[in-house]
Amino acid sequence: MAKDARILMTFPVTATSHRLDEARARGQYTALEKALKTMTPTEIGKEVTASGLQGRGGAAFSAGRKWSVIQLDDGQPHYLCANADEGEPGTFKDRWILENSPHQLIESMVIAAYALQVRHAFVYMRGEFSGPYERLQGALDEAYAAGLVGERILGTDFSCDILIYRGAGSYVCGEASALITSIEGKRGYPRNRPPRLTVKGLYQRPTVINNVETLSNIAWIVNHGSAAFKAIGTPKAPGTRLISISGHIARPGVYEIEYGYSWKRLIYDDCGGMLEGARLKCVIPGGISTKVLTGEEVEGLNLDPAEVEAAGSSMGSGGMVAIAEGTCMVRLLQVLLRFYHHESCGQCTPCREGMGWMHRIIDRIVAGQGRLEDLDRMIQISRLQDGNTICGMGDAAGYAVIGILAKYRHEFEHWIKNGSSMFEGNLECRRSS
Amino acid sequence: MNPALIPEFDRLKARFPADFGSSLVLPCLRRIQEDRGWIAEEDIAGLAAYLGVPRIQIEEVLSFYTQYRRSPVGRWHLEVCRNVSCSMRGSERLLGHLCKKLGVKEGGSTPDGRFTLKTAECLGSCGTAPVMVVNDVYHENMSPEKVDELLGRLD
Amino acid sequence: MPQIFIDGQPFEARTEQTVMQVADENGIYIPRLCWHPQLSIAGNCRICVVQIEGRSWVEISCNMPVSEGLRVLTDTELVRAHRKATMQFLTLNHPVDCGICDKAGECTLQDYHVAYNGEASISHEPKVVATKFYELSSRITLDNERCILCTRCVRFTREVSQSHALGVLDRGDHSVIRPAGGEGARPLEQDAYSDNIIDICPVGALLSRQFLYKERVWYLKATPSVCPGCARGCTIDIWHRRPEWALKSLDPRHNASISRVTPRDNPAVNGPWVCNKARDLAQLLERPRAHAPMTRGREVGLDAALAAARALIGKARHPVALVSSWASNEELQAFKAAFGARFTCFVKADHQPAEDEVVQDGLLIRADKNPNGDTARALFGDAAPTFAPDTDLVLVWGEGADFARLPRGVPVILLGAFLAPENGHAEVFFPLSVMTERRGHYTNFQGITSAFEACFAPAPGVVHAVQVFEKLALREAVTS
């Protein structure tokens, strides 16, 4: 199988390819026409479920199942939020859609709003994304002018407004419940469940939050049907996936692959291998909250969620970081823990105290004052946070710690015993020669 | 709070559903900061009064989100990403170069008020690392040389 | 009515309940720090975790809805491990201030440390430091190092007192509780219920400044009482030295003083709250006291004073009495029995709202600043005091009488607890006990009767009003 199907990156990006006229030329908004004029909300929901579409933000939850909790005739407002917070380090693939194919997102959101009986939909975009904001807002202006969003869309009875809600600098607002608390004008504190957000979400109304990429698949699914979607990718993970790859890779960027695509091909063929021909040491598969896999492990795997999970990690947010030989994993973990400490919202005990604790431990190791027991202590802290916090950030930091220590404990032991790094504390790619 | 912003806020409010008054806190603060350059005490009092929210809500929001500032910054607000991919492509060296060139420590401002230098966490631009933000605009694929050239162009 | 199982035992639950509430109702204790029955669920402390049978993880019970057949376990190995971990996290940066912290002895964190952890810290890192004496108001000091960010205080000001005076600033382990309005602002000064946050703080982060460093709580006893500050009649605990811990002091007042006042939970009247006026009861009840009966300003013995009063009452044809609205039910009954027929009685408001006092609000505070006015008015009518021209004796009982409006030249029998210039001008003066020196009942504006117990022996020289009335009435009973 060629495994080169494309759903999102179906055209070369030019200075104008994001505009409405060119998007229409590519077939955008035919699905909207089909959905609003020939399908019922329930039918669309069924198609989405049948397609097997999974969330592409990191949690991989079935989109159709999430949608099915919404009771279409409960007489209360429903809300739809596209999660464009994209804060997971290493991840920049939703940005590709926002900047280069905003109409695919807009069209999909209007269809989703119709399927969920939503009158007001939001795109929660991280505050730092000024460029993507300009692009998406420009696209929305075009869509409004063309009657593709707003009142009585395409002359039907269905009306829907899409507003971009800009964040202001907080990683935790990428978590669905923190995201809606932020839209409510407050601190981005995640919420305990129950209630599920699809029961009580934004202002206590049923709310669906989907990742930008997840939503952007909806238009294609409506146009081509769920069976066609299922024919792409793998049986359990249908469709394609945007992968943003960075780090010590020769051609970093966003690539679209079918689920099941060869990991080796992506790194060495599509991305041109490692910088300066360096050897691949390890890969963070899908955002820093996924466990690191060695180069050998990665080269033997396909980018199939099931295979990656069997190998002990996860495809996560699609934010892949390729790390070359000669990189100090101690300093790398220090960067990650500094990040988690900085971003902890502070609401619940294990994360609030645990992140700072682990950060201080690793700073002490890097300063040459580490003890061997520190390593097991960090693992213990990680395990104690796991599943015991209000949101997944508590688990996430733990996976980073446990993953890196599982594979590179010797580097930490070296630093503790010798007071210095095996690689001079280096994080950059050294020339292979 | 600058009264000239009120008509804009009224229009923004009208785009939200009716009971979403509290949601205006973040966008209004962003707009106030765009206008003044930072958020002043009178902005907090004024916005609380305009929106009818308790002022503590605004203060909580201001202190939670990293993009809001309660004091002025330099004419050019520089933020260098220090997260994983940018560090792997030289952002630490970049930061060191900037500190030395501008004669400031991280978080500091030059005495002439032209530059404020800070670090940021992942900006979602890892493919073009290392990345620096200058007054909310991304400058990608930076290097010490490119930084020098950029600074030379800034007035 | 779903049936759930806690530790294998079946319990009937109501559909809207959580597992923690069912456990509470049935005497099964699940630890909690951030949960409070009167506040919204925060679910941030994570100490209340339980394990659903068959699952390999724990979940918080304060936010766990009941469902038919739900089976939870509150004390498994896993639960204990997580409780211990939560305690380790909570004490990670918590300063070991117990030796100098007022909360010691009634501190939930201390109790839980002993119950669920009991070990020294496993951390080698220096503790995060923060502000230790932040003046939230003239009444409350905040120690951010001790604070565990349960947010009970923030939720209280948002949901109960609605002063919106407090919030959480910054993030992560640099989060701090701070008042609205920035540095130096004190919005809690305007919150008449501010001191409740001291009670609900599970640690020694929020402390009363008037109580600061005064007493160790284990030397104190809590006597049930009723606040006389208004007609709500909130039930309270008055804390004072236990007799076995009496101070060896030459001044008896050291062992007869109120150390502090806290609310006594009362679902029918005040819930778990009181307003700050109750906290300041010492200021009201410990004003300088009158200690000796007097006739025309000269100290006399009780018998002489009683004889003088009897003579005045016997002579009077049109005596008027101004009855105290701070009198207990028992005192009012005694007065009625003794003088109800003989005197024209009016009920007076002993206290009026002060200038800076909240008059009435939607929470607890009532405009009538007297604890027993309704009972008094039920017995003696609610007419405003007037003096017919033939009034030939006035009996003033308690505070608040406008002596300028009493008829000139008419003798006054005055009964009061506190030193006042009028005491010396009365024909006869009796020094009365205050409510902390006796037992009694007040009935509030809702008709709910609450008891107050004696905290102290009566101060030297004072007499109980009931005894004075009975003695003065003895002769009257014979003639009527």
Q: CB of A430 within 8 A of CB of A326?
A: yes
C168, A346: Cβ pair inside 8 Å? yes
C366: tokens are: 């009532």
SS3 A102: helix
Identify whether C108 is part of a domain.
no
Do C132 and C82 reside in the same domain of the chain?
Answer: no
* Phi, psi for C330 (deg, rounded to 5): -65, -45
Do C305 and C365 reside in the same domain of the chain?
Answer: yes
Report the relative pairing of strands C49-52 and C9-12 from DSSP bridges.
unpaired
SS3 B65: coil
Question: How many C-beta atoms lie closer than 10 Å to residue A387's C-beta?
Answer: 17
Residues 6+ away with beta carbon under 8 Å from A278: A248, A324, A325, A326, A429, A430, A431, A432
Identify whether C39 is part of a domain.
yes
- Closest CA–CA distance from residue B118 to any residue of chain A (Å): 14
Q: CB of B132 within 8 A of CB of B77?
A: no
Do C298 and C195 reside in the same domain of the chain?
Answer: no
C-alpha distances in angstroms, A78 versus A50, A119, A200, A203, C449? 23, 7, 10, 10, 50
Identify whether C70 is part of a domain.
yes
C298: buried, middle or exposed (CB in 10 Å: 19+, 13-18, 0-12)? exposed
Identify whether C268 is part of a domain.
no
**What is the Cα–Cα distance from A49 to C229, expressed in whole angstroms?**
64
Residues 6+ away with beta carbon under 8 Å from A213: A8, A56, A57, A93, A94, A97, A241, A242, A318
Identify whether C273 is part of a domain.
no
Q: CB of C371 within 8 A of CB of C233?
A: yes
CB environment A360-376: b (16+ within 10 A), e (fewer): bbbbbbbeeebeeebbe
Q: In what order do the strands lie in the sheet with C59-60?
A: C9-12, C3-6, C71-73, C49-52, C59-60
Identify whether C413 is part of a domain.
yes
SS3 C421: helix
A353, C89: Cβ pair inside 8 Å? yes
Whether complex ipTM tops 0.85: yes
Q: What is the CATH number of the domain that holds C163?
A: 3.30.70.20
Distance in angstroms between the alpha carbons of the first and the last residue of chain C: 63
Domain A20-230 has CATH 3.40.50.11540: yes
Place of tokens 């007040």: C442
A329-418 in CATH: which number?
A: 1.20.1440.230
Do C85 and C131 reside in the same domain of the chain?
Answer: no
- Closest CA–CA distance from residue B62 to any residue of chain A (Å): 9
pLDDT tens digit sequence for B86-129: 999 999 999 999 999 999 999 999 999 999 999 999 999 999 99
Q: What is the CATH number of the domain that holds C25?
A: 3.10.20.740
Q: Chain A to chain B, count of Cβ pairs less than 8 Å apart?
A: 152
Q: CB of A88 within 8 A of CB of B83?
A: no
Q: CB of A182 within 8 A of CB of A188?
A: yes
CA angle in degrees (0–180, nearest 5) for A371-A372-A375: 105
C208: tokens are: 């009363």
Q: Give the count of domains, chain C.
A: 3
CB of B45 within 8 Å of a chain C CB? The answer is no
Chain B contact probe: residue of A120, A329, A335, A347 with most B CBs at under 10 A? A335
DSSP-assigned letters across all residues of C102-154: TTTTS-HHHHHIIIII-S-----SPPP---S-EESSSSEEE-TTT-----HHH
Strands (E), B11-66: none
Identify whether C18 is part of a domain.
yes
C-alpha distances in angstroms, A101 versus A13, A400, C266? 9, 32, 62
- All structural domains of chain A with their residue ranges: 20-230, 240-324, 329-418
CA torsion, ordered C233, C237, C240, C244, to nearest 10 deg: 130
**What is the Cα–Cα distance from C64 to A193, expressed in whole angstroms?**
9
Place of tokens 């220590």: A405
Place of tokens 């990189």: A327
Percent of chain B scored above 90 by pLDDT? 99
- Where does residue A119 fall: left (phi above 0), alpha (psi -120 to 50 degrees), or beta otherwise? alpha
Chain B residues within an 8 Å CB radius of A336: 84
Chain C residues within an 8 Å CB radius of B57: 164, 167
- Closest CA–CA distance from residue B24 to any residue of chain A (Å): 6
Q: CB of B47 within 8 A of CB of B5?
A: no
Q: Write down which chains contact chain B via at least 3 CB pairs under 8 A.
A: A, C
Q: CB of A124 within 8 A of CB of A165?
A: yes
Do C150 and C88 reside in the same domain of the chain?
Answer: no
> Among partner residues B29, B68, B88, which is closest to A247 by beta-carbon distance?
B88
C146: tokens are: 């001790």
Residue of B nearest to A77 (CA): B17
**What is the Cα–Cα distance from A212 to A341, expressed in whole angstroms?**
26
Q: What is the pLDDT of residue A433?
A: 37
A388, C86: Cβ pair inside 8 Å? yes
Q: CB of A372 within 8 A of CB of A416?
A: yes
Q: What is the pLDDT of residue C475?
A: 60
What pTM, to 2 d.p., does this model score? 0.96
Element (H, E) at A262: strand A261-262
Nearest to C321 by CA among C307, C335, C302, C331: C335
Tell me the one-letter amino acid at C98: C
C43, A192: Cβ pair inside 8 Å? yes
Do C30 and C139 reside in the same domain of the chain?
Answer: no
Which domain-ending residue is among C46, C77, C92? C92
Taken in order C32, C36, C41, C42, the sign of the CA dihedral is negative
**What is the Cα–Cα distance from A182 to A170, expressed in whole angstroms?**
10
Q: What is the CATH number of the domain that holds C448?
A: 3.40.50.740
Q: CB of A328 within 8 A of CB of A424?
A: yes
**What is the Cα–Cα distance from A146 to A110, expressed in whole angstroms?**
14
**What is the Cα–Cα distance from C308 to C413, expressed in whole angstroms?**
9
**What is the Cα–Cα distance from A427 to A420, expressed in whole angstroms?**
14
CA angle in degrees (0–180, nearest 5) for C3-C7-C11: 25
Mean pLDDT for back-to-back runs of 10 residues, chain A (433 residues):
84 97 97 97 97 92 94 96 97 98 98 98 98 98 98 97 98 97 98 96 97 97 97 95 97 97 97 95 96 97 97 96 97 98 97 97 98 97 91 93 97 97 94 49
CB of B60 within 8 Å of a chain C CB? The answer is yes
Do C303 and C435 reside in the same domain of the chain?
Answer: yes
Question: How many C-beta atoms lie closer than 10 Å to residue C386's C-beta?
Answer: 10
pLDDT tens digit sequence for C387-413: 999 999 999 999 999 999 999 999 999
Q: What is the pLDDT of residue A154?
A: 96
Q: What is the pLDDT of residue A2?
A: 57
Do C49 and C167 reside in the same domain of the chain?
Answer: no
Q: What is the pLDDT of residue B85?
A: 97
Q: CB of C294 within 8 A of CB of C308?
A: no
The pLDDT confidence band at residue B155, using thresholds 50, 70 and 90, is confident
Report the relative pairing of strands A240-247 and A253-258 from DSSP bridges.
antiparallel
Do C441 and C325 reside in the same domain of the chain?
Answer: yes
Identify whether C253 is part of a domain.
no
Do C304 and C393 reside in the same domain of the chain?
Answer: yes
- What's the length of chain C? 480
Which domain-ending residue is among C164, C186, C213? C213
Nearest to A320 by CA among A278, A282, A346: A282
C86, A343: Cβ pair inside 8 Å? no
Tell me the β-bridge partners of A208. Answer: A80
C-alpha distances in angstroms, C232 versus A423, C275, C360? 73, 11, 10
**What is the Cα–Cα distance from A234 to C335, expressed in whole angstroms?**
92
Q: What is the pLDDT of residue C480?
A: 45
Which domain-ending residue is among C188, C213, C238? C213
Element (H, E) at B14: helix B6-15
Nearest to A378 by CA among A392, A389, A364, A390: A364
Residues of chain C with pLDDT below 70 are 474-480
Do C55 and C131 reside in the same domain of the chain?
Answer: no
CATH architecture of A240-324: Roll (3.10)
A339, B20: Cβ pair inside 8 Å? no
Chain C residues within an 8 Å CB radius of A175: none
Report the relative pairing of strands A302-303 and B115-120 from DSSP bridges.
unpaired
Which domains, from first to last, does chain B contain? Answer: 3-64 (1.10.10.1590), 76-153 (3.40.30.10)
Do C53 and C161 reside in the same domain of the chain?
Answer: no
Q: Provide the domain limits for residue C425.
A: 294-479
Distance in angstroms between the alpha carbons of the first and the last residue of chain B: 29
* Eight-state DSSP code of residue C456: S
Q: CB of A141 within 8 A of CB of A164?
A: no
